[in-house]
Structure 1
Amino acid sequence: MTELSRRGRAAYWVVAVLAWAGVAATLIITAFDGYAPPTYHEEGLFAGAAHGWAGAPERLINCLSYFTELSNIMVAIISTLLARRGRVGVWGRATHLCALMMITVTAIVYALLIAPYEVLSGFALVTNPLQHIVVPAAFVAAAALAGPRGGITWATLGRALLIPVAWVAYTLVRGSFAHQYPYGFVNVWRIGYAQVAMNIVAILIGALLFMALFAGADWLIRKASRR
């Protein structure tokens, strides 16, 4: 793997600041019950936390259980490591690839399936675009322009899938007790385990395709730079 240049590390500092700012702001606003309630609620999805401090723990756990929040935290962590060290090891390379895939999925799903129907208000006017648009664009741009380059093998792809798989397992296990889920495609209460299983398989295949695409792009960039 190549080591990042000084400009590359600076670029990741910018991404880290943006990502940590989005995560911190979202968690603080959630704890203080600062977000407006949704105008529409699907049965079986997160809802019902008490207002005020009484519901703060449940709201925070729900917030951290969203794929969006996890992907932004992943971006914040790996960007900080790259900005400080300039390079990462085998597991760090897998984490970077995983974060790249997760934040890209977050942005695409939001743009295509959520944004056209969502009406934002209050604090969400700032934190929502920050986590769904600004951070994804900044991280993908940093990865494309600065690296890291190389170090992607079949084993890397397998390691990169561990966190999404762990998120799926956590979501289903917690949902079986709380009877609430973060998204409709894993809402067992409404669509059942069979449909959820098919959705998860399709998503994991899509995740592999995204990571393969990023690996191919990395190979092309390295080949072009050698020329």
Structure 2
Amino acid sequence: MPTPRTMTSRSARLATSLIALCAAVGVGFGFSAVFGRTGSVPLTAWIMAAYFTNLTGLLVLAVFGGIALRVPALSQPRLVATTVLATLLVGLVQRLLLYGVRTLRGGDLVGDILLHQVLPVLVPLFWLAFVPKGRLAGRDLALFASYPLIYLGYTLLRGAYDARYPYPFLDVGKIGWGPVAAYAGAIAAAFLGVGWALVLLDRRLARRRAVAG
């Protein structure tokens, strides 16, 4: 499938470059802050890779960097929509479950602002402004849900290996399997609900643009 024309315009490519830069800087500052505490690149990478926020930042960097460079495989509306939902999940979970848990300074604070506050705004706005509508369907919910579900399995396996969990609501050792399952279920339900709302919005905007056109 060719890259959609609206995503190859000058304004769209500038927007994707800005979003990719925000993701790169956010992850980079976070990496620098963690490296300052560990002094080890492999250990820093291991710690960073535990967090959904950092993995989503890398996903944003790859997808939006690919759009800016006109890579068709990374310019598909379904992939962009998956990235939209992931960044929204990052922002909502941070605001509802993690806000104020830690006092952040320096690189940690810069990374937190860019990844938890800036990207969850810029990425959905890009989808609204530039991504062709009418390309999403209910079956895409499986694709949308695959990323957080894979992350959940990965996190639980990591935790079984080193007894460390990146988020308190996933810490099986401290709160037990029941509460972890409840939190995971609630997050999954919210994610699928927002995903379905995105599909409905995509359809409505497609109809509206067809009438206007």
1:17 aligns with 2:7: no
Equivalent residue number for residue 33 of structure 2: 29
Q: Provide the TM-score with structure 2 as the length reference.
A: 0.86
Would the aligned equivalents of 1:93 and 1:156 in 2 still touch at CA under 8 Å?
no
Would the aligned equivalents of 1:26 and 1:127 in 2 still touch at CA under 8 Å?
yes
1:214 aligns with 2:203: no
User: 2: CA distance between counterparts of 1:57 and 1:15?
Assistant: 27
Equivalent residue number for residue 81 of structure 1: 66
Would the aligned equivalents of 2:17 and 2:65 in 1 still touch at CA under 8 Å?
yes
- CA pair 122-23 structure 1, distance change in 2 beyond 3 A: closer
Q: What percent identity do the matched residue pairs reach?
A: 24
Q: Which runs of 5+ in 2 are unaligned?
A: none
User: 2: CA distance between counterparts of 1:81 and 1:150?
Assistant: 22
Over residues 52-78 of structure 1, what are the superposed CA-to-partner deviations in whole Å (9 max), with x where a residue is unaligned? Answer: 33xx43332121110111111111111
Q: Provide the TM-score with structure 1 as the length reference.
A: 0.81
Number of residue pairs matched by the alignment: 207
Q: How many Å apart are 1:9 and its aligned residue?
A: 2.6
Q: Which runs of 5+ in 1 are unaligned?
A: 34-50
Name the structure where helix makes up a greater proportion of residues. 2
Equivalent residue number for residue 68 of structure 1: 53
Q: How many Å apart are 1:136 and its aligned residue?
A: 1.8
Q: How many Å apart are 1:5 and its aligned residue?
A: 4.6
User: 2: CA distance between counterparts of 1:21 and 1:164?
Assistant: 23
Would the aligned equivalents of 2:135 and 2:202 in 1 still touch at CA under 8 Å?
no
Over residues 25-47 of structure 1, what are the superposed CA-to-partner deviations in whole Å (9 max), with x where a residue is unaligned? Answer: 322332232xxxxxxxxxxxxxx
CA RMSD of aligned residues (A): 2.3
The one of the two structures with greater contact order (alpha-carbon pairs below 8 A, sep at least 6) is 1
User: 2: CA distance between counterparts of 1:97 and 1:198?
Assistant: 26
User: 2: CA distance between counterparts of 1:99 and 1:185?
Assistant: 23
- CA pair 116-173 structure 1, distance change in 2 beyond 3 A: closer
User: 1: CA distance between counterparts of 2:73 and 2:65?
Assistant: 11
